[in-house]
Structure 1
């Protein structure tokens, strides 16, 4: 039986890989997965726990290299598909020898850490690393135009360089609901019918910059007294942000709801999706919000500008410009007709990012190596 290995250094990344694992199983392949922690995955025949670390300076990644190299040399995979920066680095180094025996290595870059405006250190470290590892990559997959053009123009030596529209969103799960259903959800989750609800779904890490929104919230609340904000997610900066919101006296405005499996319902009860992220590949939260019929307000950065067009899908604001961010939120709130048009546009535009199309795009790439 043919074998495929999926790799990610993040423990909860399997949710994005599951549709592609399922596709391989449907083709009669044995599917293995390697990640940081144990995960119950139906679509996976075997799971390996590997001690990855997000930091490129951690000694854990040296241990992960030896663990993964042993797994790869023992299992003899036909295809290896790796994700996330450290997952991609460790996997491609571990698979250097087995590629000589015919194993094909695919790497999806979910947003290079080197990009226009990135710190010089990112270019020195991550660019050098990715440029070197490209020659051990049979297919480099990018998910936004800037990364694709960078890989092409700087002559990355992967055998193939492709661009797809992200990992895809299940449009049956993420979709708008009727006004009656929306009000019922609000009642169920403890919100009022007349609340104006903003939502931000993101891991609490520095580059997601939740504090930017917390700082801006009082200026929005002056104009929208019934304002509520949902922060869905967890992470290393969560406690810091909770404490900061208390100092700003915003406890009655902000709802920290943690990591949620019912995030689709949270989108459905909200009025607008906002983000303060400083760096993205092709953000899944924005695509989910669009599929749910929400206007989007996000910074004009790579990945986000690939899918959000001003006044069509919502608004882009200049990075770190709090005044512009506040004005964008107020514009969406005050212009009901514009919001309705944006909802219609988003439900149409998001179709190109559907899960079905993502699976079809990846299947075409996989078949090239099968």
Structure 2
């Protein structure tokens, strides 16, 4: 049986975003293996979602930081051993350090072809100079060891197509959202609010994302304090290292009774249905999955003016240019002050999301895998 190896830094990535690709590979006759750090699961607290998938797991002690040289060297040697022993017919890597070490190990072990999906390069318009100095040369060099480069937003695709050396460069519209599943959600809104402990008579502003600096929940909390409107509550779904800090910030700003931390949720599609608006203030994204799901759920959205978001949101009134709390405060006031039911915003978002469904993405990915097989 042919064997394919998927590589990501943290172990939650494949069950969260890549099961469509797993199914394609398995349908094509591949035995699918997965190398990741299973001691640091993400997008949930465990690895149980991999049970009964047929995926063979390999522990590699990946770390996210490129500056931890000793740890990265150990992970590289572990991954090189996995590839040497596994003799894989195909490698598909994701995440920055997973992509770096996988391509180096594949080159060293003569494993090919290698596919690399960039879910958002760390160098981008407006990125810190140090990102361009470190990550751009690294990606450009490693592109010579890349058979197939995949990008999920137009800015990354333009750079990879014109500056890098991969044999093939393709743009695909994200990892694919399940439009049928989203459209079929049918719940009693008041009952769902009660189950979650949310007030029934308040307007709900929703964010979905890890509680980390990059997701920038702090700015929305500050905006909520400036807004001074007790009829609005802010619901955050996600977990992460900044949870304690953000909760303390809510207390300091006296909005702790308006902000609800729901943690990582497996019922997120139902939670979109009880929200009145979605806010996505990230500093950096590739093509945001949560924002796409919110748009597919017919939610009006407020978002930062960054790569990825620009590919999706066309209503410039709610695209925040400066990322300041004052500007988010004004946008929140305006979005709840308008009769969005008849404005066309919800319908426009729903229609845009149609272009990013998993059926479309999987059709493209199947062709990419077929080309790699013939290489």
Fold similarity call, TM over 0.5: yes
CA 1:124 to 1:73, structure 2 compared with 1: closer, same or farther past 3 Å?
same
Alignment of 1:29 with 2:37, yes or no, is no
CA distance in 2, matches of 1:97, 1:62: 14
CA 1:357 to 1:257, structure 2 compared with 1: closer, same or farther past 3 Å?
same
Q: Displacement of 1:27 after TM fit?
A: 1.7
SS in 2 for 1:307: coil
Q: Displacement of 1:143 after TM fit?
A: 0.7
Alignment of 1:358 with 2:366, yes or no, is no
Preserved CA contact (<8 Å) 2:7 2:35: yes
| 1:336-363 residue CA offsets vs partner (Å, 9 max, x unmatched) | 2466521111222111111111111111
| 1:299-351 residue CA offsets vs partner (Å, 9 max, x unmatched) | 1111101111116xx72111323222222222211112466521111222111
Which residue in 2 is equivalent to 1:87? 98
Superposition TM-score, scaled by structure 1 size: 0.93
Which residue in 2 is equivalent to 1:47? 57
CA distance in 2, matches of 1:181, 1:346: 23
Alignment of 1:1-370 (within 5 A): 1-14=1-14, 15-37=16-38, 39-40=47-48, 41=50, 42-58=52-68, 59-99=70-110, 103-154=112-163, 156-175=164-183, 181-220=188-227, 222=228, 224-310=229-315, 315-337=318-340, 341-370=344-373
SS in 1 for 2:307: coil
Superposition TM-score, scaled by structure 2 size: 0.92
CA distance in 1, matches of 2:354, 2:154: 18
Q: Could you list the runs of 5+ residues in structure 2 that have no partner in the other structure?
A: 40-46
Which segments of structure 1 move beyond 4 Å, counting only runs of 4 or more?
A: none
CA 1:340 to 1:266, structure 2 compared with 1: closer, same or farther past 3 Å?
farther
- Alpha-carbon RMSD across the aligned residues, in angstroms, is 1.7
CA distance in 2, matches of 1:353, 1:302: 16
Aligned residues, how many? 362
| 1:42-80 residue CA offsets vs partner (Å, 9 max, x unmatched) | 334310111000100112211110111011111111110
259-268 vs 122-131, greater mean Cα deviation = 259-268
Preserved CA contact (<8 Å) 1:176 1:268: no
CA distance in 1, matches of 2:148, 2:220: 38
CA distance in 2, matches of 1:107, 1:232: 29
284-293 vs 29-38, greater mean Cα deviation = 29-38
CA 1:191 to 1:35, structure 2 compared with 1: closer, same or farther past 3 Å?
same
Q: Displacement of 1:193 after TM fit?
A: 3.3
SS in 2 for 1:168: coil
Preserved CA contact (<8 Å) 2:80 2:109: no
Q: Could you list the runs of 5+ residues in structure 1 that have no partner in the other structure?
A: none
| 1:117-171 residue CA offsets vs partner (Å, 9 max, x unmatched) | 11111001000110110000001111111111111232x0111111111101112
Preserved CA contact (<8 Å) 2:203 2:232: yes
Q: Displacement of 1:191 after TM fit?
A: 2.5
SS in 1 for 2:176: coil
CA distance in 2, matches of 1:334, 1:368: 51
